């Protein structure tokens, strides 16, 4: 039982935090976000130099073999900086499909490109009607000789407008919500029949609506078993949820620190407002919710690659519930305690609030996961 980072992990944490502290101030972030792709290619190259893009891959695949803890470290730091680059989309989700589902040839081709920063990916899963149900897929993949032909529409594909390649879920067999018959396909972003409508998101990132019309994918670019891709999709999204939990903890930490600082400096009625007990208790409540979220982020990290699938899914669902609830409370109170200025785009705190709010909607919100967890019998065995 050890909650501390080892020496190597501490070094990674220090270096990523230093890079972001030097190069990712609030104004710099604003400039990156306003660029066409919505993030900084220059920062992406620096992440590659630092080895961050190699973090979860095995040494055999040219990676740093840092596992879920490595991802946690990077994502928490990204949360603290509100970094906009497609790390989750490319390294965690895209990399997750390659690590967990790709064959040797696919790995050998693509992982080096992720690691050196030349390839970005986006996960095209959600559809207009599917909400958070990973099995609710109507996009079809029709077998045609040695290839597949994809037709359908994917919604809110985060970083889908700038990604070099899309990882698309599509149905090769079965009805709309069947658990079997869903495959995972790697589609070039500029392939014939792909059209993408990019737009900014509430949290300062970018996403796209993606239309697939007769898109041809060679059989070489199917990841895993096309008849039975759902367990792979669930594994990868669980890893992504663990990563998002860590990012949320980073954003909550900053909101809490900023708010406590504000309580110490803002004066009203002739005293710092932090002298008022009602605000002290609110800050204490925020602290409690933050630490409970941090605990569950650690649990999610440890369970992300758990072999017992049912156990993994329950723990990840529980973590997402806590993160959603903590994030909402800490975010709302951070804005509330800053008062009017907390409402402005000019101040960072509102941007953290927006990010943590949107994390709740990624891969299932707190209520969705609470239902799932309750259906699965909860976290404490009867």
Partner 1 sequence: MDLAFTKEEQAFREEVRTFFHENIPADIHAKMIDQHSLEKQDLVTWQRILNAKGWAVPHWPVEYGGTGWDPIKLYIFWEEMQQTPAPQPLQFGVHMVGPVIATFGNEAQKQRFLPRIANLDDWWCQGFSEPGAGSDLASLRTKAVRDGDHYVVNGQKTWTTLAQHADWIFCLVRTNPDVKKQVGISFLLIDMKTPGIEVRPIQTIDGGKEVNEVFFTDVRVPVENLVGEENRGWDYAKFLLGNERSGIARIGISKQRIRRIKELAGQEFYGSAPMIENQRFREKLAAVEVELKALEMTQLRVVAAEAKRGDKGKPDPASSILKIKGSELQQATTELLMEVVGPYALPFQPGLVEGSNEPPIGMDWAATAAPTYFNWRKVSIYGGSNEIQKNIIAKAILGL
Binding site for partner 1 (CB under 8 A): 1-6, 9, 69, 260, 263-264, 274-275, 277, 279-281, 283-285, 287-288, 291-293, 295-296, 298-299, 301-302, 315, 318, 321-322, 370-371, 373-375, 378-382
Nearest C-alpha neighbor of 189 from the set 214, 215, 169, 171: 215
Exposed, middle or buried, 137 (CB in 10 Å: 0-12/13-18/19+)? buried
Q: Which of 364, 244, 382, 373 shows the shortest CA–CA distance to 300? A: 244
- Burial pattern 204-239, b for ≥16 Cβ within 10 A else e, equals bbbbbbbebeebebeeebbbbbbeebbebbbbbbbb
Nearer to partner 1, 85 or 238 (CB): 238
CB of 274 to partner 1, least distance (A): 4
Round to whole Å and give the CA distance between 329 and 339. Answer: 15
Least distance CB 275 / partner 1 (angstroms): 8
* Residue whose CB is less far from partner 1, 35 or 371: 371
Residue 231 C-beta: closest distance to partner 1, Å: 23
Q: Which H or E element spans position 128?
A: none
Q: How do beta strands 165-171 and 121-124 pair?
A: parallel
Which tokens is 100 given? 């967990």
Q: Which is nearer to partner 1, 58 or 371 (CB)?
A: 371
Tell me how far apart the alpha carbons of residues 382 and 362 are, in angstroms, rounded to a whole number.
Answer: 30
Is the separation of the CB atoms in 331 and 203 below 8 Å?
A: no
Per-residue burial over 300-330, b if 16 or more Cβ lie within 10 Å, else e, is bbbbbbbeeeeebbbbbbbbbbbbbbbbbbb
Q: Which is nearer to partner 1, 251 or 301 (CB)?
A: 301
For the CB of residue 9, give the shortest distance to partner 1 in the complex, in Å: 7
Minimum CB distance to partner 1, residue 179 (Å):
21
Closest CB to partner 1 among 9 and 147?
Answer: 9
Least CB distance to partner 1 at residue 18 (A): 21
Min dist. Cβ of residue 237 to partner 1 (A): 19
CA atoms within a 13 Å half-sphere pointing along the CA-CB vector of 235: 20
Residue with smaller CB distance to partner 1, 129 or 264: 264
For partner 1, which is the closer residue by CB, 188 or 275?
Answer: 275
- Whose tokens are 């495959």? That residue is 183
Q: Which is nearer to partner 1, 33 or 318 (CB)?
A: 318
**Shortest CB 102 distance to partner 1, Å:** 27
């Amino acid at each position: 039982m050890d909650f501390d980072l080892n020496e190597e992990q501490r070094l990674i944490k220090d270096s990523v935090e230093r890079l972001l502290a030097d190069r990712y101030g609030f104004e710099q972030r604003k400039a990156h976000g306003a660029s066409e792709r919505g993030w900084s290619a220059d920062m992406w190259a620096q992440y590659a130099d630092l080895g961050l893009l190699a973090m979860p891959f095995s040494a055999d695949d040219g990676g740093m073999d840092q596992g879920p803890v490595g991802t946690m470290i990077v994502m928490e730091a990204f949360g603290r900086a509100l970094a906009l680059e497609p790390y989750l989309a490319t390294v965690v989700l895209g990399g997750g499909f390659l690590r967990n589902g790709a064959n040797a040839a696919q790995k050998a081709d693509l992982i080096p490109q992720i690691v050196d920063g030349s390839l970005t990916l986006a996960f095209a899963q959600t559809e207009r009607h599917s909400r958070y149900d990973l099995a609710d897929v109507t996009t079809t993949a029709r077998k045609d000789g040695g290839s597949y032909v994809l037709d359908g529409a994917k919604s809110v594909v985060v970083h889908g407008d700038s990604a070099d390649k899309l990882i698309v879920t599509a149905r090769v067999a079965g009805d709309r919500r069947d658990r079997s018959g869903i495959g995972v396909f790697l589609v070039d972003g500029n392939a014939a029949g792909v059209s993408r409508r990019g737009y900014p998101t509430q949290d300062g990132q970018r996403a796209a609506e993606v239309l697939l019309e007769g898109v041809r994918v060679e059989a070489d670019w199917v990841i895993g078993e096309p008849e039975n891709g759902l367990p792979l999709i669930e594994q990868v999204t669980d890893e992504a949820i663990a990563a998002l939990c860590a990012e949320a903890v980073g954003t909550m930490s900053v909101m809490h620190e900023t708010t406590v600082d504000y309580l110490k400096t803002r004066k009203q009625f002739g005293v710092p407002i932090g002298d008022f007990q009602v605000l002290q208790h609110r800050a204490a409540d925020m602290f409690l919710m933050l630490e409970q979220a941090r605990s569950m982020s650690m649990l999610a990290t440890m369970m992300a690659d758990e072999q017992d699938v049912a156990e993994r899914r329950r723990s990840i669902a529980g973590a997402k519930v806590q993160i959603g609830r903590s994030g909402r409370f800490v975010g709302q109170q951070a804005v509330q305690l800053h008062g009017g200025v907390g409402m402005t785009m000019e101040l960072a705190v509102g941007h953290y609030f927006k990010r943590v709010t949107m994390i709740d909607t990624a891969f299932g919100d707190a209520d969705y996961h609470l239902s799932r967890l309750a259906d699965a019998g909860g976290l404490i065995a009867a």
